[in-house]
Structure 1
Amino acid sequence: MAELLTFENLGNLLMLCFLQAVLGFDNLLYISIESQRAPVAHQKAVRFWGIIVAVALRVILLFVMIRLIDALAEPFFIMNWPGILEGGVNFATVVFVFGGIFIIYTAVKEIGHMLSIEHLGTDVNQKPGKSATQVVLLIVLMNLIFSFDSILSALAITDVFPILATAILLSGAAMLLLADGVTSFLEKNRMYEVLGLFILLIVGVVLLGEAGPAAAHAMHDDALQIKVFGYDIIPMSKSTFYFAVIVLFAVEIIQSGYSRKLNAERRAAAHQ
């Protein structure tokens, strides 16, 4: 135990906690939005058990990946259609593609539901028909997909399992503390739920971008980089992602303020 308490390991732990916080924002957002699809009486329990089970499975996934990282990195299929589709496909590629498509589908479906006529006549506290178990399973599944990216990034910092596991547990505790607050905020400010769905849409695109160099990075072979019509699929940088999120929030805040100003002017004109 004493050999773990080194300055290097403590520094790595702090770096991993920061990494988990940065990469976990979109995860927390998904949990907050998805939990509202469960029956109202079960939403708090859904968030709690969804996070607990997901964190436990994330630690197990980390344990397995540390031992099977080489096997997971090996491409099991090479696409060789010059000028159309080229590159290698490994386990990480499949996870990123599946996760990206699923998140984009979820975001588009929920945005479409908000725009539907039926939604306009529905009480905001009545959620679409999903059982608590279904929502917990979805949260666990998407937490694992989100965590794949953070685990791969964490393994680039250190391969000391206790340090990695501690960072994951601390991030899980932070999600438990913040999930109710984020959900409550979204319930009181419904317009930000739409904003959150568009952020999830961007997250799906980010994950699809991560699929491009997954095999190439794992095998240190640029020939395995996925190319579509001769162009590399390049992942969006985290700084670009968070800049886009900040811009979306800024636009929403400015638009909300402008709408309030217009409504105030209309009320004043009506009273004259």
Structure 2
Amino acid sequence: MLGEIMTEVFSVSGLFTLLMLLMLQAVLGFDNLLYISIESKRVGEEKAPMVRQWGIGLAVAFRIILLFIIVALFDALAEPLFGFHLTGFFEGEFTFQSLITLAGGAFIIYTAIKEITHLLTVDHIEHSEGGKAKSVMQAITLIVAMNLVFSFDSILSAMAIANVEVANIVSASGEVIDTFKGTVTDCKSALISTPIEGAVGCRPGKDYQVWLMAIAIIVSGIVMALMADAVAEFLKKNRMYEVLGLFILFLVGVLLVTEGAHLAHMKLFTFTIEAMSKSSFYLVIFVLVVTDIISTNYQKRLWRQREAELQAHGESESVVAAVDDEMDRKPPIFTGFRL
């Protein structure tokens, strides 16, 4: 067993697939890391690093367990659990996967809106860590739970990459008796030369490279654990980017909600809800980041111009220093608002 796994991992195709999986985990893991950084600050500065490390460690362990469950029950998870058919108003066939994706996306949207509202209403933002304080167990539980929600998307995407074509040997009733590593044509030839009791034919199938996906999850978990404190510290020192992060988190929630609605084939007033494409998602993120950078630089330029005007009119050094302090204390943030 171990020998087969090592051969699969260290083959040319296996290493290439592993590289693709690691790139996928890096892209899809950003929003997860952002959520972890924001949620961990609820427990205070002293306990936050411990919460991040425990949250990531447990999340990786549960993600690997979830990987094996999804692969084993892939067809069952896609089976409808219940549906609504209010023609002309609301329709949908809900699966376990669609329900988890919808609920997770809705919770992320709620979290982002709550945090943005908090930033707009709190009196002393520079001394605020946002929202209501949580216990260590509550924070770790939320981190692990949301990581599992993110896992559905990343695991299903990984399954689309890490698989090889095989042929399923089936009986007269359509039950899979065995798996043949090769094409359907090769499988039929093998059955002719070496018949298998009860086998009547072969049909296309896929063999998912679970161990490659598990290795990618472990490596990405290690990288997240190493980067979590740095990301949290960066957001703490650059509060203006926290708003940008919250808007990105909001978009992640929208992405998950639309994906869950698409999986459930939801219709509102005869309009079918389509999943937000990944390309559209990343384009919007790119536009947000560029807009934030331009807005920040423009606002700094206005502050410098104001400082120069004060100096030209002979304002005292204390006034100019106050302007500089105001610029540092209230850096510009996304869409022109200032903290």
**TM-score normalized by the length of structure 1:** 0.91
Q: State the match for 1:196 in structure 2.
A: 245
> 1:36·1:127 contact (CA, 8 Å) conserved in 2?
no
The match for 2:61 is: 56
For 2:259, give the aligned amino acid: E
Distance in 2 (CA, whole Å) between partners of 1:124 and 1:189 is 13
**For the structure 1 residues 115 and 12, does the alpha-carbon distance in structure 2 shift closer, same or farther, using more than 3 Å as the test?**
same
Label 1:139 to 1:178 Cα distance change in 2 as closer, same or farther (>3 A).
same
1:43 aligns with 2:48: yes
Match of 1:83 in 2: 88
Aligned residue among 28, 32, 36 for 1:27: 32
Deviations 1:198-247 (A, max 9, x none): 111111110011012325xxxxxxxxx22221122111111211111111
* Alpha-carbon distance in structure 2 between the residues aligned to 1:261 and 1:75: 56
Equivalent position amino acid for 1:177 in 2: L
CA distance in structure 2 between the aligned counterparts of 1:127 and 1:228, rounded to whole angstroms? 33
Identical pairs, percent: 49
Structure-2 separation of matches of 1:209 and 1:121: 33
1:1-57 alpha-carbon deviations (Å, 9 max, x no partner): 244133332222111111111111111111111112221101111111110000000
2:229 pairs with one of 161, 168, 180: 180
Query: Are 2:118 and 1:69 equivalent residues in the alignment?
Result: no
* Counterpart in the other structure of 2:258: 209
Relative to 1, partners in 2 of residues 1:32 and 1:121: Cα closer, same or farther, differing over 3 Å? closer
Are 1:93 and 2:98 counterparts?
yes
One-letter code aligned to 2:230: G
| Higher RCO by CA contacts (8 Å cutoff, separation 6 or greater) | 1
Distance (Å, rounded) in 2 between the aligned partners of 1:197 and 1:122 = 17
Q: Which has the larger radius of gyration?
A: 2
Q: Deviations over 1:162-181 (max 9, x none)?
A: 11111111111111121111
Q: How does 1:142-157 map to 2 (within 5 A)?
A: 142-157=146-161
**Structure 1 regions of 5+ residues with no counterpart?**
216-224
Q: What is the rounded CA distance, in whole Å, between the counterparts of 1:55 and 1:78 in structure 2?
A: 33
Q: Which residue identity lines up with residue 258 of structure 1 in the other structure?
A: Y
In 2, Cα distance between the equivalents of 1:39 and 1:88?
42
Q: Per-residue deviation at 1:131?
A: 1.7
Give the number of the structure whose residues are more often helix, by fraction.
1
Distance 1:121-1:48 versus aligned 2 partners, 3 A rule:
closer
C-alpha separation in 1, matches of 2:15 and 2:294: 42
Change (3 A) 1:126 1:203: closer
* In structure 2, distance between residues paired with 1:8 and 1:203: 32
| 1:220 matched residue in structure 2 | none
CA shift, 1:128, in A, is 4.0
**Which residue does 1:253 correspond to in 2?**
293
Say whether the 8 Å CA contact 2:115–2:130 is kept in structure 1.
Answer: no
Pair 1:55–1:185, CA change in 2 (3 A): same
CA–CA distance in 2 between the matches of 1:126 and 1:86? Answer: 38
Give aligned pairs, total.
262
Query: Residue 130 of structure 1 is aligned with which of 131, 134, 137?
Result: 134
Alpha-carbon RMSD across the aligned residues, in angstroms, is: 1.7
